[in-house]
Amino acid sequence: MEWFSRNKAAVAGTALTVLSVVLRFLASDQTPHPTGWDGYYYVMQVHSWITHGYLQSPDFSLIYPFFTVIAWIVGDVILAFKIGIALLSGLLVAVVFGSLVKRNIPLSWVCILCAYLVFSPLTTYFILQFPKNTLGLILLLVCLGSTNRVVMALFFIATIMTHRMTGGLVMIGGAIYALKYIPWKWIVAGIVVVSAISLLPGIIHISDLARLDNQFTAIPHWSPFEFYQIFPNSLSPLFKADLVIVSVLIVTSFYVVIGKRKTMPLTSWILFTIACISIFPFFKFGAGDIGQRFFLIAPVIFIMLMPHVEWNPRIQWATAVVIILLATFSFESYKPNSFDPPNERYRYIVEKLETRYNHLDYPLVIAHNSLAEMIIFSTDFDALNWLPPEDMQPRHVLRLINGVNYPDLRKYLDARDRMKLRPIASGYFALPEDAWQRLVAAATKDNDPRVMAGIFGGSNPMDKRPYYLNKGKIR
Protein backbone atom coordinates (compact mmCIF):
# COMPACT_ATOMS: atom_id res chain seq x y z
CA MET A 1 0.00 0.00 0.00
CA GLU A 2 2.88 2.37 0.75
CA TRP A 3 4.32 1.71 -2.75
CA PHE A 4 0.95 2.37 -4.34
CA SER A 5 0.54 5.57 -2.37
CA ARG A 6 3.90 6.83 -3.64
CA ASN A 7 3.26 5.76 -7.24
CA LYS A 8 -0.50 6.21 -7.61
CA ALA A 9 -0.09 8.94 -10.25
CA ALA A 10 2.12 6.68 -12.40
CA VAL A 11 -0.29 3.75 -11.93
CA ALA A 12 -3.34 5.84 -12.83
CA GLY A 13 -1.64 7.41 -15.84
CA THR A 14 -0.44 4.02 -17.12
CA ALA A 15 -3.88 2.46 -16.68
CA LEU A 16 -5.61 5.26 -18.58
CA THR A 17 -2.98 5.15 -21.33
CA VAL A 18 -3.31 1.38 -21.78
CA LEU A 19 -7.11 1.60 -21.74
CA SER A 20 -7.01 4.27 -24.43
CA VAL A 21 -4.71 2.11 -26.60
CA VAL A 22 -6.96 -0.94 -26.27
CA LEU A 23 -10.24 0.86 -26.92
CA ARG A 24 -8.96 2.83 -29.93
CA PHE A 25 -7.53 -0.36 -31.42
CA LEU A 26 -10.92 -2.05 -30.99
CA ALA A 27 -12.56 0.95 -32.64
CA SER A 28 -10.25 0.72 -35.66
CA ASP A 29 -10.52 -3.07 -35.86
CA GLN A 30 -14.26 -2.93 -36.55
CA THR A 31 -13.31 -2.92 -40.25
CA PRO A 32 -10.65 -4.90 -42.16
CA HIS A 33 -9.65 -1.66 -43.88
CA PRO A 34 -7.67 1.28 -42.50
CA THR A 35 -10.02 3.86 -41.00
CA GLY A 36 -10.62 7.36 -42.32
CA TRP A 37 -10.89 8.89 -45.77
CA ASP A 38 -7.09 9.09 -45.90
CA GLY A 39 -6.52 5.64 -44.39
CA TYR A 40 -5.31 4.04 -47.60
CA TYR A 41 -3.14 7.08 -48.27
CA TYR A 42 -1.07 6.33 -45.15
CA VAL A 43 -1.01 2.62 -45.94
CA MET A 44 0.01 3.37 -49.54
CA GLN A 45 2.85 5.65 -48.39
CA VAL A 46 4.29 3.16 -45.90
CA HIS A 47 3.94 0.25 -48.34
CA SER A 48 5.75 2.26 -51.03
CA TRP A 49 8.54 3.25 -48.64
CA ILE A 50 9.10 -0.35 -47.50
CA THR A 51 8.75 -1.89 -50.97
CA HIS A 52 10.39 0.70 -53.23
CA GLY A 53 12.44 2.85 -50.86
CA TYR A 54 10.54 6.09 -51.47
CA LEU A 55 7.18 7.64 -50.62
CA GLN A 56 4.62 7.37 -53.40
CA SER A 57 3.67 11.01 -52.78
CA PRO A 58 6.48 13.32 -51.59
CA ASP A 59 5.29 14.29 -48.13
CA PHE A 60 7.91 14.71 -45.40
CA SER A 61 6.11 13.94 -42.16
CA LEU A 62 7.24 12.12 -39.04
CA ILE A 63 4.06 10.03 -39.16
CA TYR A 64 5.54 7.83 -41.91
CA PRO A 65 8.64 6.68 -39.99
CA PHE A 66 6.30 6.03 -37.05
CA PHE A 67 4.00 3.75 -39.07
CA THR A 68 6.90 2.21 -41.00
CA VAL A 69 8.73 1.02 -37.88
CA ILE A 70 5.54 -0.67 -36.67
CA ALA A 71 5.00 -2.23 -40.12
CA TRP A 72 8.52 -3.69 -40.07
CA ILE A 73 7.79 -5.25 -36.69
CA VAL A 74 4.32 -6.72 -37.40
CA GLY A 75 4.79 -7.43 -41.12
CA ASP A 76 1.34 -6.11 -42.13
CA VAL A 77 0.86 -2.52 -43.23
CA ILE A 78 -2.86 -2.27 -42.43
CA LEU A 79 -2.37 -3.86 -39.00
CA ALA A 80 0.53 -1.47 -38.44
CA PHE A 81 -1.79 1.44 -39.20
CA LYS A 82 -4.31 0.23 -36.61
CA ILE A 83 -1.66 -0.39 -33.97
CA GLY A 84 -0.12 2.99 -34.76
CA ILE A 85 -3.28 4.99 -34.24
CA ALA A 86 -3.95 3.07 -31.02
CA LEU A 87 -0.47 3.97 -29.77
CA LEU A 88 -1.04 7.61 -30.78
CA SER A 89 -4.19 7.54 -28.68
CA GLY A 90 -2.22 6.30 -25.70
CA LEU A 91 0.52 8.89 -26.23
CA LEU A 92 -2.05 11.67 -26.36
CA VAL A 93 -3.60 10.61 -23.04
CA ALA A 94 -0.16 10.17 -21.46
CA VAL A 95 0.99 13.65 -22.55
CA VAL A 96 -2.19 15.31 -21.30
CA PHE A 97 -2.00 13.36 -18.02
CA GLY A 98 1.63 14.34 -17.46
CA SER A 99 0.96 17.99 -18.31
CA LEU A 100 -1.92 18.23 -15.85
CA VAL A 101 -0.01 16.46 -13.06
CA LYS A 102 2.88 18.95 -13.50
CA ARG A 103 0.41 21.77 -12.79
CA ASN A 104 -0.26 20.30 -9.33
CA ILE A 105 -3.92 19.57 -10.09
CA PRO A 106 -5.35 16.93 -7.70
CA LEU A 107 -4.93 13.42 -9.09
CA SER A 108 -8.65 12.65 -8.89
CA TRP A 109 -9.44 15.65 -11.09
CA VAL A 110 -6.66 14.75 -13.55
CA CYS A 111 -8.14 11.25 -13.81
CA ILE A 112 -11.59 12.69 -14.57
CA LEU A 113 -10.21 14.82 -17.41
CA CYS A 114 -8.09 12.02 -18.90
CA ALA A 115 -10.87 9.45 -18.46
CA TYR A 116 -13.01 11.80 -20.53
CA LEU A 117 -10.35 11.77 -23.27
CA VAL A 118 -10.44 7.96 -23.22
CA PHE A 119 -14.23 8.05 -23.43
CA SER A 120 -14.66 10.84 -25.98
CA PRO A 121 -16.13 9.55 -29.30
CA LEU A 122 -15.13 12.89 -30.85
CA THR A 123 -11.50 12.29 -29.90
CA THR A 124 -11.75 8.73 -31.24
CA TYR A 125 -13.05 10.13 -34.52
CA PHE A 126 -10.16 12.61 -34.63
CA ILE A 127 -7.50 9.97 -33.99
CA LEU A 128 -8.91 7.39 -36.44
CA GLN A 129 -9.55 9.93 -39.19
CA PHE A 130 -6.48 12.15 -38.81
CA PRO A 131 -3.46 10.31 -37.32
CA LYS A 132 -1.00 12.84 -38.77
CA ASN A 133 -2.86 15.67 -37.02
CA THR A 134 -2.89 13.59 -33.84
CA LEU A 135 0.88 13.14 -33.83
CA GLY A 136 1.27 16.85 -34.56
CA LEU A 137 -0.99 17.71 -31.61
CA ILE A 138 1.02 15.43 -29.30
CA LEU A 139 4.28 17.11 -30.33
CA LEU A 140 2.66 20.54 -29.96
CA LEU A 141 1.58 19.79 -26.37
CA VAL A 142 5.05 18.47 -25.48
CA CYS A 143 6.59 21.61 -26.98
CA LEU A 144 4.32 23.92 -24.98
CA GLY A 145 4.84 21.92 -21.78
CA SER A 146 8.64 21.87 -21.95
CA THR A 147 10.68 24.10 -19.65
CA ASN A 148 13.96 23.39 -21.47
CA ARG A 149 14.44 25.70 -24.46
CA VAL A 150 16.49 23.16 -26.44
CA VAL A 151 13.82 20.49 -26.00
CA MET A 152 11.16 23.06 -26.80
CA ALA A 153 12.95 24.02 -30.03
CA LEU A 154 13.32 20.38 -31.09
CA PHE A 155 9.64 19.65 -30.59
CA PHE A 156 8.76 22.95 -32.26
CA ILE A 157 10.58 21.79 -35.41
CA ALA A 158 9.14 18.27 -35.10
CA THR A 159 5.61 19.68 -34.95
CA ILE A 160 6.18 21.72 -38.10
CA MET A 161 7.59 18.64 -39.85
CA THR A 162 4.58 16.51 -38.94
CA HIS A 163 1.51 18.39 -40.13
CA ARG A 164 0.65 21.77 -41.61
CA MET A 165 -2.27 22.48 -39.27
CA THR A 166 -0.45 21.83 -36.00
CA GLY A 167 2.66 23.37 -37.55
CA GLY A 168 0.73 26.60 -38.07
CA LEU A 169 -0.58 26.46 -34.50
CA VAL A 170 2.85 25.89 -32.97
CA MET A 171 4.22 28.80 -35.02
CA ILE A 172 1.50 31.05 -33.57
CA GLY A 173 2.39 29.82 -30.08
CA GLY A 174 6.10 30.20 -30.83
CA ALA A 175 5.58 33.78 -31.97
CA ILE A 176 3.77 34.65 -28.72
CA TYR A 177 6.52 33.00 -26.66
CA ALA A 178 9.37 34.52 -28.68
CA LEU A 179 8.10 38.09 -28.42
CA LYS A 180 8.24 37.82 -24.64
CA TYR A 181 11.31 35.71 -23.89
CA ILE A 182 13.65 35.34 -26.89
CA PRO A 183 16.16 37.94 -28.18
CA TRP A 184 15.59 39.18 -31.72
CA LYS A 185 18.74 37.53 -33.11
CA TRP A 186 17.39 34.10 -32.14
CA ILE A 187 13.96 34.95 -33.53
CA VAL A 188 15.57 35.77 -36.88
CA ALA A 189 17.60 32.54 -36.74
CA GLY A 190 14.41 30.59 -36.03
CA ILE A 191 12.67 32.18 -39.01
CA VAL A 192 15.59 31.13 -41.24
CA VAL A 193 15.43 27.53 -39.95
CA VAL A 194 11.66 27.31 -40.43
CA SER A 195 11.98 28.80 -43.92
CA ALA A 196 14.60 26.18 -44.82
CA ILE A 197 12.40 23.37 -43.52
CA SER A 198 9.49 24.68 -45.58
CA LEU A 199 11.38 23.84 -48.78
CA LEU A 200 10.70 20.16 -48.13
CA PRO A 201 7.54 18.89 -49.86
CA GLY A 202 4.63 18.41 -47.49
CA ILE A 203 5.92 20.90 -44.92
CA ILE A 204 4.09 24.13 -44.07
CA HIS A 205 4.86 26.82 -46.65
CA ILE A 206 3.60 30.26 -47.65
CA SER A 207 1.89 28.60 -50.63
CA ASP A 208 -0.30 26.70 -48.16
CA LEU A 209 -2.32 29.89 -47.75
CA ALA A 210 -4.06 28.73 -50.94
CA ARG A 211 -5.77 26.15 -48.73
CA LEU A 212 -7.65 28.98 -47.01
CA ASP A 213 -9.38 29.97 -50.23
CA ASN A 214 -13.16 29.62 -49.84
CA GLN A 215 -12.79 28.38 -46.25
CA PHE A 216 -14.60 31.24 -44.49
CA THR A 217 -18.26 32.12 -44.06
CA ALA A 218 -20.01 35.34 -43.08
CA ILE A 219 -22.56 33.54 -40.89
CA PRO A 220 -21.21 32.50 -37.45
CA HIS A 221 -21.85 29.00 -36.13
CA TRP A 222 -21.45 26.88 -32.99
CA SER A 223 -18.91 24.18 -33.81
CA PRO A 224 -20.39 21.24 -31.81
CA PHE A 225 -23.77 21.76 -33.46
CA GLU A 226 -22.19 22.08 -36.91
CA PHE A 227 -20.39 18.77 -36.39
CA TYR A 228 -23.72 17.16 -35.51
CA GLN A 229 -25.18 18.59 -38.74
CA ILE A 230 -22.59 16.68 -40.78
CA PHE A 231 -23.72 13.33 -39.33
CA PRO A 232 -27.33 13.92 -38.19
CA ASN A 233 -28.30 10.25 -38.43
CA SER A 234 -25.01 8.54 -37.66
CA LEU A 235 -24.04 9.70 -34.18
CA SER A 236 -24.63 7.38 -31.25
CA PRO A 237 -26.24 8.69 -28.04
CA LEU A 238 -22.77 8.74 -26.43
CA PHE A 239 -21.40 10.73 -29.37
CA LYS A 240 -24.20 13.28 -29.04
CA ALA A 241 -23.58 13.46 -25.30
CA ASP A 242 -19.90 14.13 -26.01
CA LEU A 243 -20.81 17.13 -28.16
CA VAL A 244 -22.79 18.48 -25.21
CA ILE A 245 -19.80 17.88 -22.91
CA VAL A 246 -17.52 19.71 -25.34
CA SER A 247 -19.95 22.63 -25.34
CA VAL A 248 -19.84 22.73 -21.54
CA LEU A 249 -16.02 22.56 -21.60
CA ILE A 250 -15.87 25.50 -23.99
CA VAL A 251 -18.24 27.70 -21.96
CA THR A 252 -16.58 26.75 -18.64
CA SER A 253 -13.09 27.42 -19.97
CA PHE A 254 -14.02 30.87 -21.24
CA TYR A 255 -15.54 31.66 -17.83
CA VAL A 256 -12.34 30.49 -16.10
CA VAL A 257 -10.06 32.48 -18.40
CA ILE A 258 -12.06 35.65 -17.80
CA GLY A 259 -11.81 35.11 -14.05
CA LYS A 260 -8.07 34.29 -14.05
CA ARG A 261 -6.88 36.47 -16.92
CA LYS A 262 -4.49 38.44 -14.67
CA THR A 263 -2.75 35.39 -13.20
CA MET A 264 -2.69 33.01 -16.18
CA PRO A 265 0.83 31.90 -17.27
CA LEU A 266 1.96 32.46 -20.85
CA THR A 267 1.50 28.78 -21.78
CA SER A 268 -2.17 28.98 -20.81
CA TRP A 269 -2.59 32.08 -22.99
CA ILE A 270 -1.04 30.20 -25.93
CA LEU A 271 -3.41 27.29 -25.32
CA PHE A 272 -6.33 29.69 -25.07
CA THR A 273 -5.35 31.25 -28.40
CA ILE A 274 -5.27 27.78 -30.01
CA ALA A 275 -8.60 26.96 -28.34
CA CYS A 276 -10.20 30.07 -29.85
CA ILE A 277 -8.90 29.08 -33.30
CA SER A 278 -10.32 25.57 -32.88
CA ILE A 279 -13.87 26.92 -32.53
CA PHE A 280 -13.54 30.04 -34.70
CA PRO A 281 -17.17 30.65 -35.72
CA PHE A 282 -16.43 31.97 -39.22
CA PHE A 283 -14.56 28.95 -40.58
CA LYS A 284 -16.41 26.99 -43.22
CA PHE A 285 -17.66 23.86 -41.47
CA GLY A 286 -18.42 20.95 -43.80
CA ALA A 287 -16.95 17.46 -43.92
CA GLY A 288 -13.21 17.92 -44.38
CA ASP A 289 -13.37 21.72 -44.22
CA ILE A 290 -10.94 23.72 -42.10
CA GLY A 291 -13.58 24.41 -39.44
CA GLN A 292 -14.23 20.71 -38.85
CA ARG A 293 -10.52 19.84 -38.76
CA PHE A 294 -9.69 22.55 -36.21
CA PHE A 295 -12.72 21.69 -34.06
CA LEU A 296 -11.53 18.11 -33.62
CA ILE A 297 -8.66 19.27 -31.39
CA ALA A 298 -11.05 21.28 -29.17
CA PRO A 299 -11.71 18.55 -26.53
CA VAL A 300 -7.97 18.15 -25.88
CA ILE A 301 -7.13 21.86 -25.84
CA PHE A 302 -10.05 22.88 -23.64
CA ILE A 303 -9.23 20.09 -21.18
CA MET A 304 -5.74 21.58 -20.89
CA LEU A 305 -7.37 24.86 -19.81
CA MET A 306 -9.50 23.32 -17.06
CA PRO A 307 -8.40 24.48 -13.61
CA HIS A 308 -8.47 22.87 -10.21
CA VAL A 309 -12.14 22.41 -9.36
CA GLU A 310 -13.06 21.82 -5.73
CA TRP A 311 -15.21 18.69 -5.46
CA ASN A 312 -15.49 16.09 -2.78
CA PRO A 313 -12.60 13.66 -3.59
CA ARG A 314 -14.92 10.64 -3.34
CA ILE A 315 -17.29 12.21 -5.87
CA GLN A 316 -14.33 12.94 -8.14
CA TRP A 317 -13.10 9.35 -8.06
CA ALA A 318 -16.63 8.04 -8.58
CA THR A 319 -17.03 10.35 -11.58
CA ALA A 320 -13.78 9.05 -13.07
CA VAL A 321 -14.93 5.44 -12.64
CA VAL A 322 -18.28 6.17 -14.32
CA ILE A 323 -16.55 7.81 -17.30
CA ILE A 324 -14.17 4.84 -17.64
CA LEU A 325 -17.12 2.42 -17.63
CA LEU A 326 -18.79 4.47 -20.36
CA ALA A 327 -15.51 4.44 -22.31
CA THR A 328 -15.70 0.65 -22.64
CA PHE A 329 -18.85 1.14 -24.73
CA SER A 330 -18.05 4.43 -26.44
CA PHE A 331 -15.46 2.99 -28.86
CA GLU A 332 -18.37 1.51 -30.83
CA SER A 333 -19.59 5.06 -31.43
CA TYR A 334 -17.05 5.10 -34.24
CA LYS A 335 -19.05 3.63 -37.15
CA PRO A 336 -16.91 2.73 -40.18
CA ASN A 337 -19.99 2.42 -42.41
CA SER A 338 -20.89 6.04 -41.65
CA PHE A 339 -17.49 7.71 -41.20
CA ASP A 340 -15.22 5.87 -43.67
CA PRO A 341 -15.33 5.59 -47.48
CA PRO A 342 -17.16 2.57 -48.98
CA ASN A 343 -13.98 0.51 -49.09
CA GLU A 344 -15.69 -2.78 -49.92
CA ARG A 345 -17.16 -1.18 -53.03
CA TYR A 346 -13.78 0.27 -53.90
CA ARG A 347 -12.15 -3.12 -53.48
CA TYR A 348 -14.61 -4.58 -56.00
CA ILE A 349 -13.72 -1.80 -58.46
CA VAL A 350 -10.02 -2.48 -57.99
CA GLU A 351 -10.53 -6.19 -58.68
CA LYS A 352 -12.41 -5.39 -61.92
CA LEU A 353 -9.69 -2.93 -62.92
CA GLU A 354 -7.00 -5.60 -62.56
CA THR A 355 -9.10 -8.16 -64.43
CA ARG A 356 -9.95 -5.97 -67.43
CA TYR A 357 -6.90 -3.76 -67.92
CA ASN A 358 -3.14 -4.16 -68.09
CA HIS A 359 -0.97 -1.75 -66.16
CA LEU A 360 1.55 -1.80 -69.00
CA ASP A 361 -1.09 -0.35 -71.35
CA TYR A 362 -2.31 2.17 -68.78
CA PRO A 363 0.47 2.95 -66.30
CA LEU A 364 -1.63 5.73 -64.75
CA VAL A 365 -5.25 5.67 -63.55
CA ILE A 366 -7.17 8.85 -62.73
CA ALA A 367 -9.62 8.24 -59.89
CA HIS A 368 -11.10 10.19 -57.02
CA ASN A 369 -9.55 10.38 -53.57
CA SER A 370 -9.50 7.15 -51.47
CA LEU A 371 -10.09 4.98 -54.54
CA ALA A 372 -6.83 6.18 -56.09
CA GLU A 373 -4.86 5.28 -52.95
CA MET A 374 -6.39 1.80 -52.80
CA ILE A 375 -5.45 1.24 -56.45
CA ILE A 376 -1.82 2.18 -55.76
CA PHE A 377 -1.64 0.03 -52.63
CA SER A 378 -3.37 -3.04 -54.07
CA THR A 379 -2.22 -3.15 -57.72
CA ASP A 380 0.65 -2.48 -60.11
CA PHE A 381 -1.17 0.57 -61.50
CA ASP A 382 -0.13 4.06 -60.52
CA ALA A 383 -3.04 6.39 -59.75
CA LEU A 384 -3.69 10.09 -59.23
CA ASN A 385 -6.65 12.09 -57.97
CA TRP A 386 -5.71 15.11 -60.11
CA LEU A 387 -5.46 15.71 -63.83
CA PRO A 388 -2.65 13.68 -65.42
CA PRO A 389 0.74 15.37 -65.85
CA GLU A 390 0.99 17.49 -68.99
CA ASP A 391 3.96 15.49 -70.25
CA MET A 392 2.04 12.19 -70.22
CA GLN A 393 0.16 10.99 -73.29
CA PRO A 394 -3.56 10.85 -72.37
CA ARG A 395 -4.11 7.72 -74.46
CA HIS A 396 -1.93 5.85 -71.93
CA VAL A 397 -4.02 7.10 -69.00
CA LEU A 398 -7.23 5.38 -67.86
CA ARG A 399 -9.94 7.37 -66.13
CA LEU A 400 -12.51 5.93 -63.73
CA ILE A 401 -15.65 8.03 -64.13
CA ASN A 402 -18.26 8.48 -61.41
CA GLY A 403 -21.29 10.76 -61.18
CA VAL A 404 -22.15 10.90 -64.88
CA ASN A 405 -25.00 8.79 -66.25
CA TYR A 406 -24.34 6.21 -68.96
CA PRO A 407 -26.78 7.82 -71.48
CA ASP A 408 -24.98 11.17 -71.05
CA LEU A 409 -21.61 9.55 -71.57
CA ARG A 410 -22.81 7.93 -74.79
CA LYS A 411 -24.39 11.19 -75.93
CA TYR A 412 -21.12 13.12 -75.86
CA LEU A 413 -18.86 10.35 -77.15
CA ASP A 414 -18.41 9.70 -80.84
CA ALA A 415 -18.88 6.19 -82.23
CA ARG A 416 -15.19 5.30 -81.94
CA ASP A 417 -14.92 6.43 -78.33
CA ARG A 418 -18.14 4.70 -77.32
CA MET A 419 -16.43 1.40 -78.06
CA LYS A 420 -13.83 2.24 -75.40
CA LEU A 421 -16.37 3.03 -72.64
CA ARG A 422 -16.80 0.13 -70.25
CA PRO A 423 -18.86 -0.16 -67.06
CA ILE A 424 -16.68 -1.33 -64.20
CA ALA A 425 -19.08 -1.19 -61.24
CA SER A 426 -22.42 0.35 -60.37
CA GLY A 427 -22.08 4.05 -61.22
CA TYR A 428 -18.44 3.69 -62.37
CA PHE A 429 -17.12 3.58 -65.92
CA ALA A 430 -13.64 3.25 -67.40
CA LEU A 431 -12.50 5.33 -70.36
CA PRO A 432 -9.09 6.33 -71.78
CA GLU A 433 -8.20 9.89 -70.80
CA ASP A 434 -7.98 11.19 -74.38
CA ALA A 435 -11.58 10.05 -75.01
CA TRP A 436 -12.64 11.61 -71.70
CA GLN A 437 -11.11 14.94 -72.70
CA ARG A 438 -13.03 14.88 -75.98
CA LEU A 439 -16.22 14.10 -74.03
CA VAL A 440 -15.61 17.04 -71.67
CA ALA A 441 -15.02 19.38 -74.61
CA ALA A 442 -18.28 18.28 -76.29
CA ALA A 443 -20.27 18.53 -73.06
CA THR A 444 -18.81 21.97 -72.29
CA LYS A 445 -19.90 23.21 -75.72
CA ASP A 446 -23.45 21.95 -75.07
CA ASN A 447 -23.30 23.36 -71.48
CA ASP A 448 -26.03 21.16 -69.97
CA PRO A 449 -25.99 22.17 -66.24
CA ARG A 450 -26.86 18.65 -65.09
CA VAL A 451 -24.08 16.99 -67.08
CA MET A 452 -21.55 19.68 -66.16
CA ALA A 453 -22.38 19.19 -62.48
CA GLY A 454 -21.62 15.49 -62.87
CA ILE A 455 -18.33 16.10 -64.64
CA PHE A 456 -17.07 18.80 -62.28
CA GLY A 457 -18.91 17.70 -59.14
CA GLY A 458 -15.90 16.30 -57.29
CA SER A 459 -16.05 12.59 -58.12
CA ASN A 460 -14.05 13.15 -61.33
CA PRO A 461 -10.65 14.78 -60.77
CA MET A 462 -10.59 17.87 -63.02
CA ASP A 463 -8.02 20.09 -61.29
CA LYS A 464 -4.28 20.34 -61.77
CA ARG A 465 -2.18 19.21 -58.86
CA PRO A 466 -1.69 22.43 -56.84
CA TYR A 467 1.70 23.84 -56.04
CA TYR A 468 1.44 23.27 -52.30
CA LEU A 469 1.10 19.52 -53.01
CA ASN A 470 3.43 19.38 -56.01
CA LYS A 471 6.22 21.39 -54.34
CA GLY A 472 9.46 19.47 -54.47
CA LYS A 473 7.97 16.52 -56.38
CA ILE A 474 10.75 14.02 -56.95
CA ARG A 475 9.05 11.68 -59.42
Mean predicted confidence (pLDDT) in 71-83:
97
Tell me how far apart the alpha carbons of residues 25 and 85 are, in angstroms, rounded to a whole number: 7
Looking at 260-395, list the stretches that DSSP marks H as alpha helix, in order from N- to C-terminal side. 266-278, 290-295, 298-304, 313-330, 336-339, 343-356, 371-378
Residue 332: pLDDT above 60?
yes
Tell me how far apart the alpha carbons of residues 292 and 162 are, in angstroms, rounded to a whole number: 19
DSSP string, 234-272: T--HHHHHHHHHHHHHHHHHHHHHHHTTTT--HHHHHHH
**Which CA distances in Å does 55 have to 45, 363, 419?**
5, 18, 37
Tell me how far apart the alpha carbons of residues 408 and 70 are, in angstroms, rounded to a whole number: 47
Q: Average pLDDT of the chain?
A: 89
pLDDT on residue 441:
94
pLDDT on residue 436:
97
How confident is residue 467, by pLDDT bands cut at 50, 70 and 90?
A: low
Query: The whole model's pTM is what?
Result: 0.91
pLDDT on residue 201:
61
3-class DSSP state of 211: helix
How confident is residue 241, by pLDDT bands cut at 50, 70 and 90?
A: very high
Per-residue pLDDT reduced to its tens digit, 412-428: 999 999 999 999 999 99
Residue 203's nearest CA partner among 163, 147, 165 is 163
Mean predicted confidence (pLDDT) in 207-223:
77
**Residue 383 in contact with residue 372, Cβ under 8 Å?**
yes
Tell me how far apart the alpha carbons of residues 249 and 306 are, in angstroms, rounded to a whole number: 8
**Residue 31 in contact with residue 116, Cβ under 8 Å?**
no
pLDDT on residue 316:
85
pLDDT on residue 178:
76
Residue 475: pLDDT above 50?
no
Length reported for the chain: 475
How confident is residue 468, by pLDDT bands cut at 50, 70 and 90?
A: very low
Per-residue pLDDT reduced to its tens digit, 100-139: 999 888 899 999 999 999 999 999 999 999 999 999 999 9
Tell me how far apart the alpha carbons of residues 146 and 141 are, in angstroms, rounded to a whole number: 9
pLDDT on residue 44:
95
Tell me how far apart the alpha carbons of residues 311 and 67 are, in angstroms, rounded to a whole number: 41
pLDDT on residue 473:
40
Torsion angle in degrees (nearest 10) through CA of 253, 258, 261, 263: -70
3-class DSSP state of 424: strand
Tell me how far apart the alpha carbons of residues 97 and 107 are, in angstroms, rounded to a whole number: 9
3-class DSSP state of 429: strand
How confident is residue 472, by pLDDT bands cut at 50, 70 and 90?
A: very low
Cα distance between the two ends of the chain: 61
Per-residue pLDDT reduced to its tens digit, 173-197: 888 877 777 665 656 666 666 666 6
pLDDT on residue 385:
92
